[in-house]
């Protein structure tokens, strides 16, 4: 049974960066639910994939050096541990991972045509289509089986998880490995990162909920790794249950135990998270107002989908935040979804005469602090809302 625990209010689509601000853009009510039987946490409203992921999708995986090195490290690990004959990536974005593999041993699936085009230009075979049974059988016809499937920050974006895993089972060889990587629900709860919820994040997985889901498809997690990326992610290594060539590692039990100890299987945990999120909103608004009342200047850094949740939930506009800076080409000279705050193409001088920076990309804090050492050395400060709203400079 799905039980409601948090209402994050009326929200725009988190990656809908308009050229001209309009208060009449599409919105939905962002409400969070916990399923007491499956232990899955999800949002209620499902926006069609074609509305969210199309030829105008702005997010690029390769925009941060943190993610680039994470993909590089992972590719060496995959080659060393699994040495796949053929790797398939579901949600290959701009090819940030694929490019570490030989062109005849890696294929991509990326429904956002603008991104698939970038990967194709690098000469990687890329299907610009949604991951479903039709596409899986089409790929199977051409390439037969694949022995490694990788998917980061994608499967949680697809409403019909039954079809997702059926389609994976269809094409994954009996001894093949599926690796998926998504924000960890435990880290999200610990960090009070309510901004991990928005229209694209239909689900935020815990290992417990994923295990329950995989059981239906005769799949099981045989290893799991905690990663620092995206504010704390989990990388799950999954195999077919009948595949006895791999043992289930202790890391899996350890993760389940940790999640149970932190109450991820209990509704009360989510009610507490909701209470903390409401408090976080109040404090965040207070901090920003206090700064503004002292006539200081605030800008934003990293126009993330997460920031869109925060700014709309807390109702922050350009009276508080002058503008955002971001390196993504398709976000510059556009507006924060739902808010009349302009995004400018990042350049260092945009940080001149700024007193405070709201860290929209808090998950890249280390990378950004390194890059903006001069701003900090000159007395500049950052504002974050994780794990609780505060002003920081280290």
Q: 86-105 in b/e burial notation, b at 16+ Cβ within 10 A?
A: bbbbbbbbbbbbbbbbeeee
Instruction: Assess 306 for contact with ligand JHZ (CB under 6 A).
Output: yes
**In the complex with ligand JHZ, which residue's Cβ is closer, 128 or 367?**
367
> Which neighbouring-strand residues pair with 356?
298, 381
Give the interface size with ligand JHZ as a residue count (CB under 6 A): 22
Q: Which of 30, 32, 47, 63 binds ligand JHZ (CB under 6 A)?
A: 63
Instruction: Assess 199 for contact with ligand JHZ (CB under 6 A).
Output: no
x/- site string to ligand JHZ, residues 23 to 62, per CB under 6 A?
------------------------------------x---
**In the complex with ligand JHZ, which residue's Cβ is closer, 86 or 180?**
180
From the CB of residue 380, how many other CB atoms can be counted at a distance below 10 Å? 17
What residues from 351 to 380 belong to the interface with ligand JHZ (CB under 6 A)? 361, 363-364, 367-368, 371
DSSP symbol at 132: S
Euclidean distance between CA atoms 37 and 39, whole angstroms: 6
Q: Measured from the CB of residue 243, what is the shortest distance to ligand JHZ in angstroms? A: 29
Q: Measured from the CB of residue 105, what is the shortest distance to ligand JHZ in angstroms? A: 25
Q: Measured from the CB of residue 340, what is the shortest distance to ligand JHZ in angstroms? A: 19
Euclidean distance between CA atoms 286 and 259, whole angstroms: 33
**If you count them, how many residues does the chain have?**
394
DSSP for 74-126, written as a single string = HHHHHHHHT--SSEEEES-TTSTTGGGS-GGGEEEE-S-HHHHHHHHHTT-EE
Q: Measured from the CB of residue 66, what is the shortest distance to ligand JHZ in angstroms? A: 6
Taking each helix axis from N to C end, the angle separating 250-261 and 207-215, rounded to the nearest 10 degrees, works out to: 120
**In the complex with ligand JHZ, which residue's Cβ is closer, 3 or 348?**
348
Euclidean distance between CA atoms 130 and 252, whole angstroms: 30
Coil vs helix vs strand at 32: strand
**In the complex with ligand JHZ, which residue's Cβ is closer, 278 or 327?**
327
Instruction: Assess 64 for contact with ligand JHZ (CB under 6 A).
Output: yes
Q: Which of 98, 287, 303, 386 binds ligand JHZ (CB under 6 A)?
A: 303
Q: Measured from the CB of residue 36, what is the shortest distance to ligand JHZ in angstroms? A: 26
Give the torsion sign (CA, 156, 158, 162, 166). negative
Q: Which of 95, 107, 326, 384 binds ligand JHZ (CB under 6 A)?
A: 326
x/- site string to ligand JHZ, residues 122 to 161, per CB under 6 A?
-------------------------------x--------
Instruction: Assess 197 for contact with ligand JHZ (CB under 6 A).
Output: no
CA separation (Å) from 133 to 138, 149, 161, 167, 233? 8, 15, 12, 5, 27
> Which neighbouring-strand residues pair with 148?
87, 177
Q: Measured from the CB of residue 306, what is the shortest distance to ligand JHZ in angstroms? A: 4
Residues 6+ apart with CB under 8 A from 388: 192, 280, 283
User: Which residues make up the interface to ligand JHZ (CB under 6 A)?
Assistant: 59, 63-64, 153, 200, 230, 302-306, 326-328, 331, 346, 361, 363-364, 367-368, 371
């Amino acid at each position: 049974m799905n039980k409601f625990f948090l209402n994050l209010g009326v929200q725009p689509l988190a990656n809908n960066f308009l050229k001209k601000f309009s208060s009449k853009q599409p919105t939905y009510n962002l409400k969070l639910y916990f399923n007491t039987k499956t232990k899955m946490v999800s949002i209620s409203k499902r926006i069609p994939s074609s509305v969210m992921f199309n030829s105008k999708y702005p997010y690029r995986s390769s925009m941060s050096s943190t993610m680039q090195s994470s993909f590089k490290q992972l590719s060496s690990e995959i080659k060393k541990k699994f040495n796949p004959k053929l790797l398939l990536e579901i949600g290959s974005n701009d090819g940030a991972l694929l490019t570490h593999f030989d062109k005849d041993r890696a294929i991509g699936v990326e429904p956002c045509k603008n991104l698939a085009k970038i990967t194709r230009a690098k000469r990687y075979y890329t299907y610009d289509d949604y991951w479903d049974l039709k596409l899986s059988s089409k790929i199977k016809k051409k390439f037969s089986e694949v022995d490694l499937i990788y998917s980061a920050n994608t499967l949680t974006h697809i409403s019909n998880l039954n079809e997702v895993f059926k389609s994976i089972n269809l094409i994954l060889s009996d001894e093949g490995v599926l690796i998926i990587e998504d924000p960890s629900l435990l880290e999200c709860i610990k960090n009070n990162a309510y901004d991990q919820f928005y229209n694209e994040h239909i689900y935020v997985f815990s290992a417990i909920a994923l295990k329950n889901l995989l059981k239906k498809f005769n799949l099981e997690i045989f290893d799991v790794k905690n990663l620092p990326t995206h504010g704390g992610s989990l990388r799950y290594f999954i195999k077919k249950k009948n595949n006895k060539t791999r043992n289930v590692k202790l890391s899996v039990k350890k993760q389940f135990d940790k999640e149970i100890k932190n109450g991820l299987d209990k509704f009360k945990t989510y009610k507490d998270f909701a209470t903390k999120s409401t408090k976080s909103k109040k404090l965040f608004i207070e901090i920003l107002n206090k700064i503004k009342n002292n006539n200081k200047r605030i800008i934003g850094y990293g126009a993330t989908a997460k920031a869109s949740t925060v700014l709309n939930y807390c109702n922050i506009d350009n009276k508080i935040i002058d503008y955002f800076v971001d390196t993504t080409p398709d976000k510059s000279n556009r507006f924060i979804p739902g808010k009349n705050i302009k995004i400018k193409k990042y350049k260092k001088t945009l940080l001149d005469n700024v007193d405070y920076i709201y860290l929209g990309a808090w998950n890249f804090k280390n990378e950004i602090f390194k890059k903006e050492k001069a701003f900090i050395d000159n007395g500049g400060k950052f504002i974050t809302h994780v794990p609780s709203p505060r002003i920081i400079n280290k």
